[in-house]
Amino acid sequence: MYFSIHKETYYRLKPKPIDKNNVIMFLMVGYLVLENGQVFEGERIGFNKDAIFEVVFNTSMSGYIEVLTDPSYVGQAVVFTYPLIGNYGVMKADGESNNVWVEGVFVNELANFSSNFRKEISLNEFLVENKIPGLQGINTRMLTKLLRESGVMKGKITADISNIAKIVEEIKNYKPKDPVSLVSTKQVKQIGNGKYKIALLDFGVKQNIVQSIIKHDATVYLFPSTSLAKDMLAIKPDGIVLSNGPGDPKDNHIAIQTIKDLYNCNIPILGICLGHQLLALATGADTKKLKYGHRGPNHPVKCYRHNRVYMTSQNHGYYIDEQTIDKDKVDITYLNVNDKTIEGLSYKNKNIETVQFHPEACAGPHDTAFIFDEFFKLLGK
């Protein structure tokens, strides 16, 4: 972030000088303080404000627009592991929602120049426009290794580290409140005008999930996360989709009860990410928090039905505990190759399939887009 500066402010903030076109300008110094007291120094980018959040990392090489606008990131700040971010600018039509949901951005280097025939604004301008703070020039490799070894931590971006103990206490007391309610639709919405009626329980759905459904000659009815089963069934849907979303799945008590009721309605159901976890909770299984989550487009998943490995796009911090599922009622269909966590379930004697990854994969590989095809085949059964 470039700015002119008063002499007294200069001595107080000690910004870093840079030479740009033979004119001395300054980048304001900023800090990321973690809940363990560790501090990372960088240069301010985006909007100049303090913020507290959960710090997670994403291994994407591209797709930063989709990441920033993914509702599943509400309450979190993203560390991009790829060293250069922002080189193709921002095309707002590529967003997964109409808002930016991340609370902060950390990069090794923010591109000074972006080039793309579709580009509208730079990434930094996009962050400023949406009031998202960030840092560049921090050691993202060290930070990512720390999160892998110690687990996901909360943190704060700030310009003032004169009282680390107070900041750490503030960070530890932070907890996002009901993140699903922030990102879910507030009223029933109809999208598309196709042959099939799909009732989608919205916990923070990505737009490309909606578009992937509409492409199959369907009309999507978005329902708020607190909707009751009777309200969803009133439209007489041909199929039901449980969307992705943020936070701890166990916090969604109303949704879990709704899904219990939907489980017995004999209508085909597809669960994605959070929807996958909630359906497991509704049928008696348990979920646990991953040490540092799965976030990126390069997660290998073994499909038992096809006897092959697919690359998948993922964004979640919780998983289904395999020891708690009833294998008389459910089959494991997909397994994570890296850490052996459950990535997909099929419910016996039910037209119900759930996956932990994102078959719409924006951004990411489209290896598993066939899951939507398989879901629509169930509608005729």
| pLDDT tens-digit series, residues 352-365 | 999 999 999 888 88
Say if residue 66's pLDDT is above 60: yes
First to last CA, the chain: 57
Spatial CA neighbour of 205 closest among 76, 360, 364, 64? 360
Task: Give the bridge partners for 271, in sequence order.
Answer: 242, 354
Q: Which residue has the higher pLDDT, 362 or 380?
A: 362
Q: What is the pLDDT of residue 230?
A: 97
Give residues with Cβ within 8 angstroms of 225, minimum separation 6.
180, 181, 184, 201, 202, 203, 245, 252, 254, 255
Cα angle, residue 255 at apex, residues 96 and 376 outer, rounded to 5°: 60
- Alpha-carbon span 74 to 183, nearest angstrom: 8
The answer to whether 347 touches 332, Cβ cutoff 8 Å, is no
Average pLDDT over residues 177-190: 95
Alpha helix locations (H) across 158-263?
A: 164-172, 179-183, 207-214, 229-233, 253-263
Taking the C-alpha atoms of residue 335 and residue 346, their distance in angstroms, rounded to an integer, is 12
Q: Assess whether pLDDT exceeds 80 at residue 24.
A: no
Catalytic positions are 273, 358, 360
pTM equals 0.91
In percent, how much of the chain has pLDDT > 70? 93
Confidence of residue 16 (pLDDT cuts 50, 70, 90): low
- Checking 171-174 for CB contacts under 8 A at 24+ apart, the result is 171/33, 171/34, 171/35, 171/52, 172/35, 174/52, 174/53
State the Cα–Cα distance between residues 343 and 333, nearest whole angstrom.
7
State the DSSP H helix or E strand holding residue 66, giving kind and residue range, or none if neither.
helix 64-68
Backbone angles phi, psi at 308, to 5 degrees: -150, 165
Tokens 């699903």 belong to residue: 180
* Pairwise CA distance, residues 269 & 46, whole Å: 41
Gap between the Cα atoms of 263 and 283, Å rounded: 8
Instruction: Answer yes or no: is pLDDT of 10 > 70.
Output: no
Task: Count CB-CB contacts under 10 A for residue 13.
Answer: 16
| 29-55 residue pLDDT tens | 999 999 999 999 999 999 999 999 999
Higher pLDDT, 25 or 239: 239
Sequence-ordered list of residues with C-beta below 8 angstroms from that of 253, at least 6 positions apart, any chain: none
Burial of 248 (0-12, 13-18, 19+ CB in 10 A): middle
Q: Cα–Cα distance between 263 and 285 in angstroms, integer? A: 14
CB 153 within 8 A of CB 293: no
Task: Report cis status (omega within 30 of 0) of the bond before 363.
Answer: yes
For residue 13, pLDDT beyond 60: no
Q: What is the CA radius of gyration of the chain?
A: 22
- The two beta strands, 218-223 and 269-272, are unpaired
